[in-house]
C-alpha cells in the first residue's frame, strides 16, 4: 500500500527536479488573471520551495468537446488549456511559446483527491465549485454557460497557482506531471495506489468515532472551520439576494429612458432635455451588468475560502483519525497486557469469550495456556511497535499540520483582507458611476 513519501525523498525530489532553489523569504507578486480584476496574492512562502518561482502557470482557455463517455454515450464537456513557461524565458525577452495541454475538470478533481490522500496534514487548496451555487437570477446555473465556464477557468488557474506556491504540495511529482504530461497522467496517478488508501481513509472518516483526549487546538480549529463555513455561506446567500434586487432597481430606470423619449415627442421646449436625460437613464440601467460582474469575482474569493474551510476541517478530522487509531492501538495493547496478566495469575478480570468458554467447557491444559501466553507476548510486542509507530505518526502529523495551518491562517487573513478592500473599491467605483450619471441627467433636466 502507498505511503506518504518520507521527508528525505521529498527533499531529494526538490533538488533533482528543480535546481534553482531560493532559500530566502520571498513575497510573491500579485498575479493578475487574464481579463479580470480578480487578484490572488500568494502569501509568503517559507524556504522558497515553490514551483511558481520556476515557471509561469496559467489556465489560458476553455473549449467545448464532445466524446464518448464511460458508458459509451455521447457527452459534451469543457476542457481547459494549461500553459506553462519557465520564468526566465519571459524576463530574457525571448518570449517563447508556452508548453500547453488540455485537461478537464474531472482530472483536476483526481489531482486534488490524490493530494488530499498523500498530504493529509496539508490544507489542500480547493477547486472552484462543481455546480453554480448562490446564484442570483441572472446567472445561469448551467455548467455550459459561458460566464460560468469563464469563472471556472479563473478558479482552476487559481487552484494551480495555490498548489504551485504551497511549500509541500508544489514539489509533488504527480502535480508536476499534471502540468506537463498530457498523456498517461491518469495511469501514473493510479499507479501510486493512492486510491486504496483513499478508500480506507474515507471509510474511516465517515464513521463516527470518539477520541478520548482530543487535542484542544485541533478541536478549536475544527470549530472555527465550521463557523467559517456557516458564516460565509450566509454571506454569499445574502449577497446574492441583494445583487438580485439591485439589478431590479437599476433595470427599472431603463423605463424612464423609454418614457422620456416618448414624452419628448409631444413636447416642444422640453423635448431635447427629456430625450438626452432618457439616454442617461438607459446608461444607468445598463451599468449594473458590469457592477454585478465585478461583484461575482468578490463572491468567488469568498467561495474559495468557503471551500478552504472544508479543507481545514478535513485536516482536523484526519488528525482525529490519527489520534483515534493511536488510542485504539494503545487500548488494544492494554487489553492484551491485561489478558496476559490474567493468564499468568489465573484471574479473570476482563471478559473474554475464550475465557468464558473455557470456564463453561472446562479448563485448558497447561500446554494450551503456555501457547496462549506465547501468542500474547508476540502480539504485545507487535502492539508496542504499533503504538510507537502510531505515536510517531501522530506527533509528525500534528507538527506538519500545525505548520500548514499557521501558514493557512496567515494566507487567509491576508487574502480576505484584500478581498474586503477590493469590495470597497468596487463600491466606490459604483458610486462614482452613479454620481456621473445623475449629474449628467441633472444637466439634461435643467435644459428642459
Partner 1 sequence: MLRLLSQQLRLNERDLHASVFGPGKDSKTDTSTTQTDGSSFNASMQTSPASMINQYKFEEEEEDADTKDIFVTVDNPESHVTAIETYITYRVETKTTRSEFDSSEFEVRRRYQDFLWLKGRLEEAHPTLIVHPLPEKFVMKGMVERFNEDFIETRRRALHKFLNKIAEHPIFSSSEDFKIFLTAGSGELTSHKKQGPGFLSRMGETVKAVAAAVRGVRNRPQEFTDMQEYAEAFSQKISSLDKVTQRIVREQKEYLEELKECGPTYALWSQSEQELAEPLKNVAGCVDNCCKETEEQVKHLNDHLIPVLHEYVLCADTLKAVLRRRDNIQADFEGKTEALATKKADRDAMRDELDKAEDRLEWANNALKTDWTRWQKVMRTDLRSAFIDTAERNVSYYEKCLAVWESFLQSQRTDAEGNGNVDSS
Which residues here bind partner 1, judged by CB under 8 A?
30, 224, 227-228, 231-232, 234-235, 238-239, 241-242, 244-246, 248-249, 252-253, 255-256, 259, 262-263, 266, 269-270, 273, 277, 412-413, 416-418, 420-425, 427-428, 431-432, 434-435, 438-439, 441-442, 445-446, 448
CB of 294 to partner 1, least distance (A): 14
Are β-strands 99-104 and 74-86 bridged in parallel, bridged antiparallel, or unpaired? antiparallel
CB of 311 to partner 1, least distance (A): 17
CB of 139 to partner 1, least distance (A): 16
Contact 56, 87 (CB under 8 A): yes
> Cα–Cα distance between 334 and 380 in angstroms, integer?
9
> Cα–Cα distance between 356 and 344 in angstroms, integer?
17
Closer to partner 1 by Cβ: residue 210 or 216: 216
Closer to partner 1 by Cβ: residue 149 or 416: 416
Query: What phi and psi, each to the nearest 5 degrees, are found at residue 82?
Result: -100, 125
Closer to partner 1 by Cβ: residue 232 or 321: 232
Contact 132, 148 (CB under 8 A): yes
CB of 31 to partner 1, least distance (A): 12
**What single-letter DSSP state applies at residue 46?**
G
Query: What phi and psi, each to the nearest 5 degrees, are found at residue 208?
Result: -90, 130
CB of 84 to partner 1, least distance (A): 26
CB of 427 to partner 1, least distance (A): 5
CB of 244 to partner 1, least distance (A): 8
> Cα–Cα distance between 309 and 124 in angstroms, integer?
10
Closer to partner 1 by Cβ: residue 123 or 333: 123
Closer to partner 1 by Cβ: residue 95 or 439: 439
b/e for 26-41, b at 16 or more Cβ within 10 A? bebeebebeebebebe
> Cα–Cα distance between 296 and 288 in angstroms, integer?
12
Closer to partner 1 by Cβ: residue 145 or 226: 226
Closer to partner 1 by Cβ: residue 133 or 377: 133
> Cα–Cα distance between 34 and 158 in angstroms, integer?
11
CB atoms within 10 A of CB 332: 15
Contact 83, 67 (CB under 8 A): no
Closer to partner 1 by Cβ: residue 2 or 286: 286
CB of 228 to partner 1, least distance (A): 6
> Cα–Cα distance between 79 and 225 in angstroms, integer?
32
Amino acid at each position: 500500500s502507498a505511503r506518504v513519501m518520507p521527508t528525505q525523498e521529498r527533499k531529494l525530489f526538490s533538488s533533482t527536479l528543480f535546481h534553482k532553489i531560493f532559500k530566502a523569504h520571498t513575497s510573491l507578486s500579485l498575479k493578475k488573471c487574464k481579463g479580470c480584476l480578480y487578484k490572488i496574492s500568494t502569501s509568503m512562502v517559507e524556504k522558497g520551495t515553490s514551483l511558481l518561482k520556476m515557471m509561469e502557470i496559467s489556465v489560458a482557455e476553455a473549449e467545448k468537446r464532445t466524446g464518448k463517455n464511460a458508458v459509451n454515450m455521447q457527452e459534451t464537456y469543457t476542457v481547459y488549456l494549461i500553459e506553462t513557461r519557465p520564468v526566465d524565458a519571459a524576463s530574457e525577452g525571448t518570449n517563447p511559446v508556452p508548453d500547453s495541454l488540455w485537461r478537464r475538470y474531472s482530472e483536476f478533481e483526481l489531482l486534488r483527491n490524490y493530494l488530499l490522500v498523500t498530504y493529509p496534514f496539508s490544507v489542500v487548496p480547493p477547486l472552484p465549485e462543481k455546480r453554480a451555487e448562490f446564484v442570483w437570477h441572472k446567472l445561469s446555473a448551467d455548467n455550459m454557460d459561458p460566464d460560468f465556464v469563464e469563472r471556472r477557468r479563473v478558479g482552476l488557474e487559481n487552484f494551480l497557482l495555490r498548489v504551485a506556491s504551497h511549500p509541500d504540495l508544489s514539489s509533488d511529482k504527480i502535480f508536476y506531471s499534471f502540468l506537463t504530461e498530457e498523456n498517461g497522467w491518469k495511469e501514473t496517478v493510479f499507479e501510486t495506489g493512492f486510491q486504496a488508501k483513499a478508500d480506507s481513509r474515507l471509510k474511516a472518516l465517515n464513521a463516527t468515532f470518539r477520541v478520548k483526549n482530543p487535542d484542544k487546538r485541533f478541536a478549536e480549529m475544527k470549530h472555527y472551520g465550521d463557523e467559517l463555513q456557516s458564516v460565509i455561506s450566509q454571506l454569499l446567500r445574502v449577497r446574492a439576494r441583494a445583487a438580485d434586487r439591485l439589478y431590479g432597481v437599476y433595470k427599472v430606470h431603463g423605463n424612464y429612458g423609454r418614457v422620456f423619449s416618448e414624452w419628448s415627442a409631444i413636447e416642444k421646449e422640453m423635448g431635447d432635455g427629456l430625450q438626452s436625460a432618457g439616454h442617461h437613464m438607459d446608461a444607468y440601467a445598463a451599468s449594473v451588468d458590469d457592477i454585478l460582474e465585478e461583484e461575482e469575482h468578490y463572491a468567488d474569493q469568498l467561495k474559495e475560502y468557503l471551500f478552504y474551510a472544508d479543507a481545514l476541517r478535513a485536516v482536523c478530522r484526519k488528525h482525529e483519525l490519527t489520534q483515534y487509531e493511536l488510542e485504539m492501538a494503545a487500548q488494544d495493547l492494554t487489553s492484551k497486557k491485561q489478558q496476559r496478566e490474567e493468564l499468568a495469575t489465573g484471574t479473570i478480570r476482563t471478559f473474554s469469550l475464550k475465557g468464558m468458554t473455557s470456564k463453561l467447557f472446562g479448563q485448558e491444559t497447561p500446554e494450551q495456556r503456555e501457547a496462549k501466553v506465547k501468542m500474547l507476548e508476540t502480539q504485545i510486542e507487535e502492539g508496542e511497535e504499533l503504538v510507537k509507530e502510531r505515536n510517531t505518526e501522530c506527533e509528525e502529523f500534528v507538527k506538519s499540520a500545525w505548520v500548514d495551518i499557521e501558514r493557512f491562517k496567515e494566507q487567509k487573513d491576508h487574502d480576505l483582507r484584500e478581498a474586503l478592500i477590493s469590495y470597497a473599491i468596487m463600491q466606490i467605483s459604483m458610486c462614482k458611476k452613479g454620481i456621473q450619471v445623475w449629474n449628467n441627467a441633472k444637466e439634461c433636466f435643467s435644459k428642459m
